[in-house]
Amino acid sequence: MVVQTPNGFDLDTAGKRIVVDPVTRIEGHMRCEVNVDDEGYIRNAVSTGTMWRGLEVILKGRDPRDAWAFTERICGVCTGTHALTSVRAVEDALGIMIPDNANSIRNIMQLNLQIHDHIVHFYHLHALDWVNPVNALRADPKATSELQQAVGPNHPLSSPGYFRDVQNRLKKFVESGQLGLFKNGYWDNPAYLLPPEADLMATTHYLEALDLQKDIVKVHTIFGGKNPHPNWLVGGVPCPINIDGVGATGAINMERLNMVSSIIDRCIEFNRNVYLPDVVAIGGFYKNWLYGGGLSSQAVLAYGDIPEHPNDFSAEQLHLPRGAIINGNLSEVHDVDVRDPEQVQEFVDHSWYTYGEPGKGLHPWDGVTEARYELGPNAKGTRTNIQEIDEAAKYSWIKAPRWRGHAMEVGPLARYIIGYAKGHEDITDQVTGLLRTMDLPVDALFSTLGRTAARALESEYCGRLQKYFFDKLVRNCINGDTTTANVEKWDPSTWPKEARGVGMTEAPRGALGHWVQVKDGRIENYQCVVPTTWNGSPRDAQGNIGAFEASLLNTRMERPEEPVEILRTLHSFDPCLACSTHVMSEDGAELTTVKVR
């Protein structure tokens, strides 16, 4: 039976059920079940968060100045973004103003994380959904060299000998029997469309990106003192600046700023000469695979980030755009106020929590986390080993956040659609340029590939922004302002007895918010609504489906027992997960178990 959701998607549970069950121990643990019809099209999709996490049970009673160090550990990837969101929330609560240099340095670090995450995501997590490294062994190095020079003429690493060397290295690795990183692919699946030369080129860039990413993170080491887990500070940044200083430790000096500058330049070059050309080239072979749009053409949300001035989060002062688009109306971008109790709310009707009454939404400041784990009457399996979810009942540990009642997609594509709709100059130029190059209409944006392309464009734009804030920082320092922190309100005796605040960022995967309440110098309540909560959200009381679920609908699977297409689209959101998939046959027997990244 076909059911239409209020947000306009047709669901049909008649076909074969396929279970993809990724398991990890971090934010974004998820499982996915779909129903596939006789022709291989996905007609129903269910996204389940399989892990319960509540930060309030950890942070209650702690010193708010320490919260960043805890939130940095929530996630295995977005450490810095959580820390930044946390210090912003605490500063907001306590009315702490940060100096201009701290704003520039935080922006540089946040942009650095965006670029690192986007490049690593594309080459090391997502590319293998499109690129077949095993097929690369069949490539002709000379033809690969010609392809490289046509696709990215400014990239110096392009000789036939270079590609032959990489191919040999790859061969050795594969033949050593430890295919390792590549061992879990579906390498003979007809969903892979690239010729061997494109596979070799992209696999080569996979290796180049590995080298580059090691240097990118040095920016965090320089400004954050160490990496992973850089240091943060309520009131600014914890690195003093002394332009004339010497040495590799102590205050930031010109020598280390020059190192940052050269890393920024390398990222800009890589984005322009390798990453974007690869997305165009690979996308060109998959131009007819325009599945996966889901909510993106209907409802997208961004809080915005990268403030031009410290302490000013007004929408027009943010370089990454803020806004909300609903009902597919791109001509109207709504402003977003994360303090407004009517805007961001979390619902739990299909989540394993209870608020005591159905259909109730709570703003994160009032957020509560009371577990109620129960399976619906049509679930198969046991409470500890679910074989099939009953999505008509409670089915996820993820709450369902809504913006004014709407399920929203967040992330690079959401930011880019909002930027495009608002006429953000850089974003509009990038988007129209890309569409022209690829000879695609605007509608092509609303797709899995659109998500992947938006991430690449954003990486390029973030590189330019990083350079802008670097120059701003250096200029300021040369002019004699080397202040990096404001410690006026460091002492809790200067704080109000009770206060609450909110911190917002655009994490690589989308809008991230931390809401904090401080009482008598200690944390009273702390709630995070993370990007994967928005995108991976279960249904709400009205039956609206979330972004993951919507994006999988109507995708055709070449081989339902090999969920390449599901992974392609889920990965395009860059969810935080390393996953094991169990593909079930109709009677629930396990056909294959594969670990997928």
Partner 1 sequence: MGQRTLILGIGNVLWADEGFGVRCVERLADRYRFGPGVTLLDGGTQGLYLLPFLEEADILVVFDAVDYGLTPGTLKIVEGDKVPAFLGAKKMSLHQTGFQDVIATAELMGYRPETLLLIGCQPEELEDYGGGLRDVVAAQIDPAIEIALDRLAGWGIAAETGRGDDSLLADRAILRDAYEAGRPDEDSACRIGDARFFPAAE
Binding site for partner 1 (CB under 8 A): 23-26, 52-54, 56-58, 60-63, 66, 69-70, 73-77, 79, 120, 124, 169, 173, 178, 180-181, 207, 210-211, 213-214, 217-218, 225-229, 231, 353-356, 368-371, 576-578, 580, 597
249 vs 331, which CB is nearer to partner 1? 249
CB of 227 to partner 1, least distance (A): 6
**Residue 84 near residue 232, CB atoms below 8 Å:** yes
Q: 510 to each of 48, 176, 338, 533, how far by Cα in Å?
A: 19, 39, 15, 10
Query: Residue 426: which of 436, 411, 437, 416 has the closest Cα?
Result: 416
Distance, CA of 592 to CA of 584 (rounded, Å): 8
Structure tokens, 583: 């593909």
Q: 105 to each of 79, 99, 133, 301, 455, how far by Cα in Å?
A: 16, 10, 38, 26, 22
Distance, CA of 203 to CA of 228 (rounded, Å): 26
- Vertex 86: Cα angle to 85 and 87 (nearest 5): 95
**Residue 27 near residue 530, CB atoms below 8 Å:** yes
Q: 267 to each of 38, 156, 277, 466, 525, how far by Cα in Å?
A: 46, 15, 14, 10, 39
CB of 419 to partner 1, least distance (A): 28
3-state secondary structure of 195: coil
CB of 39 to partner 1, least distance (A): 34
Alpha carbons within 13 angstroms on the beta-carbon side of residue 213 total 21
Compute the Cα dihedral for 160, 165, 167, 168 and give only its sign. positive
385 vs 479, which CB is nearer to partner 1? 385
54 vs 160, which CB is nearer to partner 1? 54
21 vs 565, which CB is nearer to partner 1? 21
CB of 147 to partner 1, least distance (A): 23
26 vs 442, which CB is nearer to partner 1? 26
CB of 353 to partner 1, least distance (A): 7
**Residue 486 near residue 235, CB atoms below 8 Å:** yes
CB of 362 to partner 1, least distance (A): 10
Query: Residue 572: which of 182, 202, 75, 126 has the closest Cα?
Result: 126
Distance, CA of 508 to CA of 510 (rounded, Å): 6
